[in-house]
Amino acid sequence: MTESRYTPPKVWTWNKESGGRFSSINRPIAGATHEKELPVGKHPLQLYSLATPNGVKVTVMLEELLERGHAGAEYDAWLVDIMKGDQFGSGFVAVNPNSKIPALMDHSTQPPTRVFESGAILLYLAEKFGELLPTDHKKRTECLSWLFWQMGAAPILGGGFGHFYAYAPEKIEYAIDRYAMEVKRQLDVLDRRLAEARYLAGDEYTIADIAVWPWYGALVAGQAYDAAEFLDAGSYQHVNRWTNEIAERPAAKRGRMVNRSFGKPETQLRERHDASDFETKTQDKIEAAGGE
């Protein structure tokens, strides 16, 4: 047995920064830290987000709805800088008391409807527009099973594996082993499902795919935690087939750019207020015009 270097006290107290990349924003209490109203644009849907996997789910969904001709899905996407603590502003907390992106306000209802938790946002939009969620009860149930699978599984990938493999201040073999094992098991779950079905819920592209793709698709494509080789991601051939297929969808290509504030400038559309912004407001163009 290895000797533990830390003995927990009787009662935990918040007396130091916990370390790691997110130490400056992590705290053990909820609620707002400062007063700040949220901006409201011209469209019915106001999204407050960032292009992390949880944020990308919603922008891929909104772009897919627009692609299918739902003008009511037009949206303003405002950038929330979580490293600066924007999620703790009073306006944001009123939309999401959990202080995490993505958060959505639907101003087409009276009074406006707030929606938080990415899975709930996908479900809300699917029901509002009658898209991407099968109506047949059996198929709908399969879709929701995979949607909820994602909501339960991804914290193991992000908060567990990704945190200890990429972000923790030291590499702890026990933690990396534990979470690599579970993430590989999850990839195998997906791989077996995608060997028997084109999409997660069956033959239709649904909100289940939209929820899972930004996490597990990014992982096998080498776009998350630089861990594709470590996890031997290439061996999950059906997950790779599905990942590449979704990546070709125009709505997925656009959706992943929205609220992106990292990566190559031409892939970043930090805020989206109009469909034409993809042509004119990407970061490379803003910088070329002398902006920031």
Ligand X SMILES: N[C@@H](CCC(=O)N[C@@H](CS)C(=O)NCC(=O)O)C(=O)O
SS (H, E, C) the chain: CCCCCCCCCCCCCCCCCCCCCCCCCCCCCCCCCECCCCCCCCCCEEEEECCCHHHHHHHHHHHHHHHCCCHHHCEEEEECCCCCCHHHEHHHHHHCCCCCCCEEEECCCCCCEEEECHHHHHHHHHHHHCCCCCCCHHHHHHHHHHHHHHHHHHHHHHHHHHHHHHHCCCCCHHHHHHHHHHHHHHHHHHHHHHHHCCECCECCCCHHHHHHHHHHHHHHCCCCCCCCCCCCHHHCHHHHHHHHHHHCCHHHHHHCCECCCCCCHHHCECCECCCCHHHHCCHHHHHHCCCC
Q: Does 54 bind ligand X (CB under 6 A)?
A: yes
Question: CB 215 → ligand X: shortest distance, Å?
Answer: 10
> With respect to ligand X, which residue has the nearer C-beta, 25 or 221?
25
Q: Does 243 bind ligand X (CB under 6 A)?
A: no
Residue 6 CB burial class (10 angstroms; 0-12, 13-18, ≥19): exposed
Q: Does 117 bind ligand X (CB under 6 A)?
A: yes
Q: Does 256 bind ligand X (CB under 6 A)?
A: no
Q: Total binding residues for ligand X by CB under 6 A?
A: 11
Question: CB 136 → ligand X: shortest distance, Å?
Answer: 26
- Binding range to ligand X, per CB under 6 A, among 4-12, 98-106, 194-202, 283-291: 98-106
Q: Does 282 bind ligand X (CB under 6 A)?
A: no
119 within 8 A of 151, measured Cβ to Cβ: yes
Q: Does 259 bind ligand X (CB under 6 A)?
A: no
Q: Does 87 bind ligand X (CB under 6 A)?
A: yes
- Binding range to ligand X, per CB under 6 A, among 70-78, 94-102, 175-183, 215-223: 94-102
- Binding range to ligand X, per CB under 6 A, among 100-108, 175-183, 226-234, 249-257: 100-108
Q: Does 182 bind ligand X (CB under 6 A)?
A: no
> With respect to ligand X, which residue has the nearer C-beta, 160 or 202?
160
- The contact mask relative to ligand X for 8-27 (x = CB under 6 A, - = no) is -----------------x--
Report the C-alpha gap between 271 and 76 in whole angstroms: 8
> With respect to ligand X, which residue has the nearer C-beta, 31 or 250?
31
> With respect to ligand X, which residue has the nearer C-beta, 100 or 270?
100
Q: Does 99 bind ligand X (CB under 6 A)?
A: yes
Report the C-alpha gap between 283 and 169 in whole angstroms: 31
Q: Does 260 bind ligand X (CB under 6 A)?
A: no
Token pair for 210:
């939209």
Q: Does 156 bind ligand X (CB under 6 A)?
A: no
- Binding range to ligand X, per CB under 6 A, among 95-103, 123-131, 139-147, 239-247: 95-103
When binding is defined by CB under 6 A, the residue of 41, 51, 65, 100 that contacts ligand X is: 100
When binding is defined by CB under 6 A, the residue of 46, 59, 118, 240 that contacts ligand X is: 118
Residues near ligand X (CB under 6 A): 25, 52, 54, 82, 87, 99-102, 117-118
